[in-house]
Amino acid sequence: MLNMDGAAALLRAGRVVVFPTETFFGVGCLATHAGAVDEVYRVKRRAHRLALPVIVGHVDQLAQVAARMCPVAEDLARRFWPGPLSVLLPAAPGVPAPLTGGTGRVAVRLTPHPVARELCLLVGGPLVASSANISGRPAVTRAAELDPELTAEVAGVLDLPPAPPGGLPSTLVEVLGGEGNEEGPPRLRVLRAGAVTVQALRDAGYAVA
């Protein structure tokens, strides 16, 4: 098992590490390291067309992976971050193509988990944070439940409290329109239902497709 400094050093070196998040254990790497991003796909047996989610420890880290946020995305961040709401944003120039699944967009959230957040800050950049499982198998909330097939392929496991609570994964939304000057309430499309409910988004004043 890794300690925080050891996990951060491995991530900075382009290695893949398992760590806790606000939903499940995640497997990830430095999001700006193309080789490490490819390695996450390999470890998870994940199709490259499926973009990988990214977490940041502070909003200042967004610029490393995402272009300018539109006003509606900024409003979502104010209302729901830190929290399990990933927002699909245009990728910043130079972001590794595999990170976006070839879409030119990246799904980002500001994580509320203290360990994941501190890890981003120690590493100095956003981290890929996909569920720590072989694709198609269950996500887990305890290190003891991690799939040995996956842990054999990563550089190490960071298991510090609090444990992930489980439940639903982070919700993924995209903004429709977005400049905030369209008629009616700002519009969103939910691409993956999760911990932030459609009703919570509607209660916050959004029209949800």
How far apart CA 108 and CA 150 sit, in angstroms, is 24
* Higher-pLDDT residue of 138, 182: 138
How far apart CA 34 and CA 5 sit, in angstroms, is 22
All domains of the chain, ordered by start, with CATH?
4-170 (3.90.870.10)
Alpha helices, H only, 45-184: 71-80, 114-123, 148-151
| Tens digit of each residue's pLDDT (9 = 90 or more) over 74-99 | 999 999 999 999 999 999 998 998 89
Q: What confidence score (pLDDT) does residue 181 get?
A: 60
Work out the angle at residue 27's Cα, subtended by the Cα atoms of residues 26 and 31, and round it to the nearest 5 degrees. 110
Q: What confidence score (pLDDT) does residue 177 get?
A: 81
How far apart CA 183 and CA 193 sit, in angstroms, is 26
Lowest mean pLDDT: which of 68-72, 86-90, 176-180? 176-180
Categorize the per-residue pLDDT at 70 as very low, low, confident or very high, splitting at 50, 70 and 90: very high
